[in-house]
Structure 1
Amino acid sequence: MSGPSDLQGTSRNAVLKRMMQPKSVAIIGMSTKPNTVGHLVLQNIRANGFTGDIHLVGRSAGEVDGLSIHADIADLPEHLDVAVLSVPAAGVSEALQGCISRKVGSAVVFAGGFAELGDKERGEQEKIGQLARDSGIGVIGPNCLGYNNYVNGFLVSFTGVTKLPRVAPGTSDGVALVAQSGGLVGHLRLALLSRSVAVTYSIATGNEADLGLGDFVRYLIHDEATRVITIYAESVRHAGSFLQAAQEARAHGKPIVMLHTGRGVRAQEAAKSHTGALAGNYAVMRSKVERAGVILVETMDELLDVSEILSRYPKPQKGGLGIVSFSGAFCSIAHDICEDLGVEVPSLSPEIEAALKPQVPAFIPPKNPLDLGTQPLWQPELVQIGVEALLSDPAIGGVAISIPPAAPANANTFIQKIVAAKSKSDKPVMLAMLGDSSTLPPEFMDTARENKVVLSRSSDRTLRAMAKVVAYGNHSDLAPTPRAIPFDEMHGMTSGTQPEWLGKKVLSAAGISVPQGDLATTVEQALEIANRIGFPVVLKAQAGALAHKTEAGGVILNLEDSDNVRVAWKDLHDNVQRAKPGLQLDGVLVETMSPRGLELVVGARRDPQWGTVVLVGLGGVLVEALQDVRLLAPDATESEILCELDKLKTAKLLYGFRNIPPVDREAVAKAAMAIGRLMLTHPEIAEIDVNPLMVYGKGQGAVALDALVVTN
Structure 2
Amino acid sequence: MADGYTRLENGQPRTIGRLLNPRSVAIVGMSSKPNTAGHIVLQNLQANSFAGDIHLIGRNAGEVSGLPIRTDIASLPAGVDLAVLTVPAAAVEEALAGCASRGVGAAVVFASGFAETGEAARQEQERLSRMVRASGMSVVGPNCIGYTNFVEGFNVAFVSVNEVPRLAPGTTDAVAIIAQSGGLGNHMRLGLNARNVPVSYSVSTGNEMDLGLGDFVLHLIDDPATRVIMIYAEHIRQPGAFLRAAARAREAGKPIVLMHPGRGQRAKEAAKSHTGALAGDHAVMRVMAERAGVVLVDTLDEVLDTAEILARYPRPSPGGVGILTFSGAFCGIAHDFCDDLGIAIPPLSTETEAALRPQLPSFIPPRNPLDLGTEAVWRPDLVGMGASALLSEPSVGGVVVSIPVVSPKLSLAYLNNILEARRGSHKPVALALLGDGSPLPPELLAAVREHGVVVSRSSDRTLRAMAHVLRRSPPPAPSQADRPRAPELPAMSGAGPQPEWLGKEILATLGISVPGGRLAGTLEQAILVAGEIGYPVVLKAQAAALAHKTEAGGVILNLKDEAALRAGWDRLMGNLRQAQPDLRLDGVLVEAMSPPGLELVIGGRRDPQWGPVLLVGLGGVLVEALGDVRLLPADCSEGEVLTALNQLKAAKLLHGFRNRPAVDLGAVARAVRAIGHLLLDHPEIIEIDVNPLMVHAQGEGAVALDALVVTA
Per the normalisation by structure 1, the TM-score is 0.97
2:276 corresponds to 1:276: yes
User: Retained in 2: the 8 A contact 1:285–1:610?
Assistant: yes
Report the counterpart of residue 3 of structure 2 in structure 1: none
Amino acid at match of 2:161: V
Cα distance in 1, alignment partners of residues 61 and 476 from structure 2? 57
Report the counterpart of residue 477 of structure 2 in structure 1: 478
2:228 corresponds to 1:228: yes
Cα distance in 2, alignment partners of residues 270 and 90 from structure 1? 25
Report the counterpart of residue 437 of structure 1 in structure 2: 437
5+ unaligned residues in a row in structure 1: which ranges? none
Report the counterpart of residue 652 of structure 2 in structure 1: 652
Residue 580 of structure 1: how far off its partner (Å): 2.0
Cα distance in 1, alignment partners of residues 707 and 7 from structure 2? 36
Cα distance in 2, alignment partners of residues 113 and 411 from structure 1? 54
Cα distance in 1, alignment partners of residues 488 and 67 from structure 2? 71
Residue 128 of structure 1: how far off its partner (Å): 1.7
Cα distance in 2, alignment partners of residues 542 and 586 from structure 1? 5
Amino acid at match of 1:186: N
Q: Mapping of 1:362-381 within 5 angstroms? A: 362-381=362-381
User: Retained in 2: the 8 A contact 1:491–1:506?
Assistant: no
Report the counterpart of residue 202 of structure 1 in structure 2: 202
Stretch moving more, 543-552 or 205-214: 543-552
Residue 485 of structure 1: how far off its partner (Å): 3.2
Cα distance in 1, alignment partners of residues 75 and 139 from structure 2? 21
Change (3 A) 1:103 1:680: same
User: Retained in 2: the 8 A contact 1:6–1:241?
Assistant: no
2:87 corresponds to 1:83: no
User: Retained in 2: the 8 A contact 1:293–1:477?
Assistant: no
Residue 448 of structure 1: how far off its partner (Å): 1.2
User: Retained in 2: the 8 A contact 1:292–1:478?
Assistant: no
What is the CA deviation profile of residues 407-452 of structure 1, one whole-angstrom value per residue up to 9, with x for unaligned ones? 2222222112111211241210001000000011111111111111
User: Retained in 1: the 8 A contact 2:313–2:428?
Assistant: yes
Residue 475 of structure 1: how far off its partner (Å): 2.2
What is the CA deviation profile of residues 429-487 of structure 1, one whole-angstrom value per residue up to 9, with x for unaligned ones? 00100000001111111111111110010111111011111111x42343574687320
Cα distance in 2, alignment partners of residues 478 and 45 from structure 1? 46
Other structure's SS at 1:661 match: strand
Change (3 A) 1:195 1:96: same
Stretch moving more, 99-108 or 408-417: 408-417
2:16 corresponds to 1:16: yes
Change (3 A) 1:205 1:489: closer
Report the counterpart of residue 351 of structure 2 in structure 1: 351
Residue 682 of structure 1: how far off its partner (Å): 1.2
Other structure's SS at 2:116 match: coil
Residue 215 of structure 1: how far off its partner (Å): 0.5
Report the counterpart of residue 237 of structure 2 in structure 1: 237
Other structure's SS at 2:661 match: coil
User: Retained in 2: the 8 A contact 1:235–1:278?
Assistant: yes
Cα distance in 1, alignment partners of residues 359 and 315 from structure 2? 30
What is the CA deviation profile of residues 544-569 of structure 1, one whole-angstrom value per residue up to 9, with x for unaligned ones? 12121111111110000111111111
User: Retained in 2: the 8 A contact 1:12–1:215?
Assistant: no
Other structure's SS at 2:362 match: coil
User: Retained in 1: the 8 A contact 2:478–2:637?
Assistant: no
Other structure's SS at 1:160 match: coil
What is the CA deviation profile of residues 629-683 of structure 1, one whole-angstrom value per residue up to 9, with x for unaligned ones? 1111111111121122111111121111112211111111111111111111111
Cα distance in 2, alignment partners of residues 98 and 477 from structure 1? 49
Report the counterpart of residue 258 of structure 1 in structure 2: 258
Report the counterpart of residue 526 of structure 1 in structure 2: 526
Cα distance in 1, alignment partners of residues 286 and 350 from structure 2? 37
Report the counterpart of residue 419 of structure 2 in structure 1: 419
User: Retained in 2: the 8 A contact 1:638–1:669?
Assistant: yes
What is the CA deviation profile of residues 2-40 of structure 1, one whole-angstrom value per residue up to 9, with x for unaligned ones? xxx997168545x00111110011111111111111111
Cα distance in 2, alignment partners of residues 446 and 51 from structure 1? 36
User: Retained in 2: the 8 A contact 1:484–1:680?
Assistant: no
Residue 75 of structure 1: how far off its partner (Å): 1.1
5+ unaligned residues in a row in structure 2: which ranges? 1-5
Cα distance in 1, alignment partners of residues 480 and 223 from structure 2? 29
What is the CA deviation profile of residues 135-162 of structure 1, one whole-angstrom value per residue up to 9, with x for unaligned ones? 2111111101111000011111001111
Cα distance in 2, alignment partners of residues 33 and 105 from structure 1? 28
Cα distance in 2, alignment partners of residues 12 and 700 from structure 1? 56
Cα distance in 2, alignment partners of residues 83 and 346 from structure 1? 55
Amino acid at match of 2:17: K
Q: Mapping of 1:489-504 within 5 angstroms? A: 489-504=489-504
Residue 490 of structure 1: how far off its partner (Å): 3.0
Amino acid at match of 1:662: A
User: Retained in 1: the 8 A contact 2:7–2:16?
Assistant: no
Report the counterpart of residue 132 of structure 1 in structure 2: 132
Residue 491 of structure 1: how far off its partner (Å): 3.0
Residue 405 of structure 1: how far off its partner (Å): 3.1
Q: Mapping of 1:216-615 within 5 angstroms? A: 216-472=216-472, 474-478=473-477, 481=480, 485-615=485-615
Stretch moving more, 540-549 or 221-230: 540-549
Amino acid at match of 1:280: G
User: Retained in 2: the 8 A contact 1:48–1:154?
Assistant: yes
Other structure's SS at 1:113 match: coil
Cα distance in 2, alignment partners of residues 661 and 117 from structure 1? 57
Amino acid at match of 1:639: G
Cα distance in 1, alignment partners of residues 133 and 598 from structure 2? 51
User: Retained in 1: the 8 A contact 2:83–2:108?
Assistant: yes
Amino acid at match of 1:435: G
Cα distance in 1, alignment partners of residues 171 and 426 from structure 2? 19
What is the CA deviation profile of residues 337-357 of structure 1, one whole-angstrom value per residue up to 9, with x for unaligned ones? 111111011111111110010
User: Retained in 2: the 8 A contact 1:687–1:710?
Assistant: yes
Cα distance in 2, alignment partners of residues 132 and 436 from structure 1? 51
Report the counterpart of residue 629 of structure 1 in structure 2: 629
Cα distance in 2, alignment partners of residues 294 and 557 from structure 1? 48
Amino acid at match of 1:478: A
Change (3 A) 1:575 1:491: same
Amino acid at match of 2:501: W
User: Retained in 2: the 8 A contact 1:110–1:142?
Assistant: yes
Residue 492 of structure 1: how far off its partner (Å): 3.1
Report the counterpart of residue 165 of structure 2 in structure 1: 165
Amino acid at match of 1:447: A
Change (3 A) 1:417 1:6: closer
User: Retained in 2: the 8 A contact 1:485–1:677?
Assistant: no
Cα distance in 2, alignment partners of residues 39 and 409 from structure 1? 52
Q: Mapping of 1:50-61 within 5 angstroms? A: 50-61=50-61
Aligned length: 706
Stretch moving more, 621-630 or 578-587: 578-587
What is the CA deviation profile of residues 37-85 of structure 1, one whole-angstrom value per residue up to 9, with x for unaligned ones? 1111111111111111111111122211111112111111111111111
Cα distance in 2, alignment partners of residues 205 and 577 from structure 1? 59
Quote the RMSD (CA, aligned, Å). Answer: 1.4
Report the counterpart of residue 695 of structure 1 in structure 2: 695
Cα distance in 2, alignment partners of residues 497 and 426 from structure 1? 53
Change (3 A) 1:343 1:149: same
Cα distance in 1, alignment partners of residues 465 and 268 from structure 2? 25
Amino acid at match of 1:345: I
Report the counterpart of residue 176 of structure 1 in structure 2: 176
What is the CA deviation profile of residues 257-309 of structure 1, one whole-angstrom value per residue up to 9, with x for unaligned ones? 01100011111110000001111111101100001000001111110001000
Cα distance in 2, alignment partners of residues 578 and 489 from structure 1? 35
Other structure's SS at 1:698 match: coil
User: Retained in 1: the 8 A contact 2:556–2:572?
Assistant: yes
Per the normalisation by structure 2, the TM-score is 0.97
Over the matched positions of the two proteins, sequence identity in percent amounts to: 61
Other structure's SS at 1:50 match: coil
Cα distance in 1, alignment partners of residues 430 and 194 from structure 2? 17
Cα distance in 1, alignment partners of residues 161 and 484 from structure 2? 55
Amino acid at match of 1:245: A
User: Retained in 1: the 8 A contact 2:114–2:121?
Assistant: yes
Amino acid at match of 1:675: I
Other structure's SS at 1:111 match: coil
Cα distance in 2, alignment partners of residues 486 and 370 from structure 1? 53
Amino acid at match of 2:370: L
